[in-house]
Amino acid sequence: MAKYTAVIMGGGPSGHSAAVRISELGGKVALVERDYIGGICTNWGCTPSKAMIESAKVARTVAESGKYGVKVNDFAIDFRAVAERRDKVITNTRAFITDLLEHHNIDIFYGEGQILSPGKMLVRKGKLDPDGETMHYTGEEVELEAGHIIISTGSKPLIPGFIDESDPSIVSSNRLISIDHLPKELTIVGGGVIGLEFATIFSNLGAKVTIVEFLDRVLAMMDEDISAEITRILEQRGIRILTSYKCLSIENGLMKAENMKTGKVEEIDAPMTLVAIGRAAVIHEETYDKLGLKYTRKGVEVDDYQRTSVPGIWAVGDATGRSILAHVGIQQGIVAAENIMKKEGEPLRKMDYAVIPAVIYTFPEIVGVGIVPQDLEGVQVVKVPFDINLRAGIEDYPEGFVKMWIKDNQILAAQAIGHNVSEIMQEVANMIALKTNIEDVAGIIHAHPTFAEIIRSTLDYALERAVDFYI
């Protein structure tokens, strides 16, 4: 029986990060993966969606090239080539992660892991079917022994019970991101992060897109100003958005949806319907019950150190239900690894959820960081439009704004919509985390002209000393 410091179930961002960190600290690690190394993020989430977003971005740039004085006639989108590029990016990323694991001498077992006890795991070798449910076993089994087991089993798309998953017109995000043909029309159920990113991809690649959202606005978790701005922009670009609509049925591409305010029933016909109402942690109820492991429908319960209710068993990533963001999962994996490998007398490392940048890769991008205060007493709310930024004017990206909630000269939260905000808002995240006085950053020279100057501009405006613009 092979013996390890830790055995990790799942090779996604949280799992392989934990594996590498334990190895760096001198531990011996086995990683069990039933599908592809890289998990959801690499194979069906972050990586392929962002690869396709880049293709969509280029398509939009070419379509609008005339405004830059560059005329392009009769350009066409080769969706199969888009898909091939997407698949190449996936393969390269998967290979990179595999090489990283091998570099750190991590043993990889392909198959389905079953926790027998806190220190033992049975691996039934095999491969997951593309349907995401059926395992194809080789018949070979191996038992692994470890001082610690880390659950990093990820998540899966949520599909409501009234929807027939066998209907070929209905797809999850996992399926849609893998197609090699462009649907002429696409209906999206859900106006959250996944729904809006896919709407951005497919509308810019030539599909007619309709979004059906149960709530009264898209991106309901964001500030209302953000929701209103992205709705305006997407509708201006031809995306139809139906809010306060309840999906009644979907059959053979025909959706019936009821307006909950008026009672009107809308029929939407499209060859493909994406159900994007969220994701749920993969739960192994029978195993967890036998172990006495505490869990809910949201995921495995963990403390701030990534420990489960059973000593020797840890959980990280989507499996915990705390967040489905890859960068959160990576940090959870590192925290768990360092706590497993800590030396006697050293304190445990605590997971900090206070400052988590969340990015939505629409055109333009959307970012939120920090917790928007409910009580606005003593809070300064500052909103600066992107069109005051010179670089935005030069490149013709005037849409959007930066909005900050500030108290005692410290940023509590910030949200932004605009070109390249996924990059420039990290400065704000750092300020929130470090509790930086805004005067200290406002006094630092920012390069000109850059998009990042919008941060200094917003801080200057908050300090009532903006010298290069007015609102």
Global confidence as pTM: 0.94
Percentages helix, strand, coil for the chain (3-state, rounded to 5) are 35, 30, 40
Work out the mean pLDDT of the chain and round it to a whole number: 95
- CA dihedral 233→236→241→244, nearest 10 degrees, is 70
Residue among 197, 168, 185, 226 nearest 50 (CA): 197
| Domain pair 170-277 / 358-462, same fold | no
pLDDT score of 356: 94
> pLDDT class for 327, splitting at 50, 70, 90?
very high
Task: Give me the mean pLDDT over the 36-63 stretch.
Answer: 95
Asked if the model's pLDDT at residue 60 lies above 80, the reply is yes
Q: pLDDT for 105-140, tens place per residue? A: 999 999 999 999 999 999 999 988 877 778 899 999
Task: List the structure tokens of 13.
Answer: 């961002």
- Alpha-carbon distance of 206 to 183, in angstroms, equals 9
Assigned CATH topology for domain 170-277: FAD/NAD(P)-binding domain (3.50.50)
* Backbone conformation region of residue 453, classed left if phi is above 0, alpha if psi is from -120 to 50, else beta: alpha
Task: List the structure tokens of 312.
Answer: 């020797």
pLDDT score of 1: 62
Task: Give me the mean pLDDT over the 144-167 stretch.
Answer: 91
How many C-beta atoms surround the C-beta of residue 132 within 10 A? 13
208-213 and 265-269: which strand pairing? unpaired
What kind of architecture, by CATH, is found in domain 2-156+280-340?
A: 3-Layer(bba) Sandwich (3.50)
Give the CA angle between residues 243, 247, 253 to the nearest 5°: 110
The DSSP secondary structure of 306-363, one letter per residue, reads: SB-SSTTEEE-GGGGSS---HHHHHHHHHHHHHHHSPPTTPPPPPP--S---EEE-SS
pLDDT score of 34: 94
Q: pLDDT for 294-321, tens place per residue? A: 999 999 999 999 999 999 999 999 999 9
- Alpha-carbon distance of 93 to 36, in angstroms, equals 11
Domain locations in the chain? 2-156+280-340, 170-277, 358-462
Assigned CATH topology for domain 358-462: Enolase-like; domain 1 (3.30.390)
Task: Give me the mean pLDDT over the 60-87 stretch.
Answer: 94
Task: Give me the mean pLDDT over the 208-229 stretch.
Answer: 97
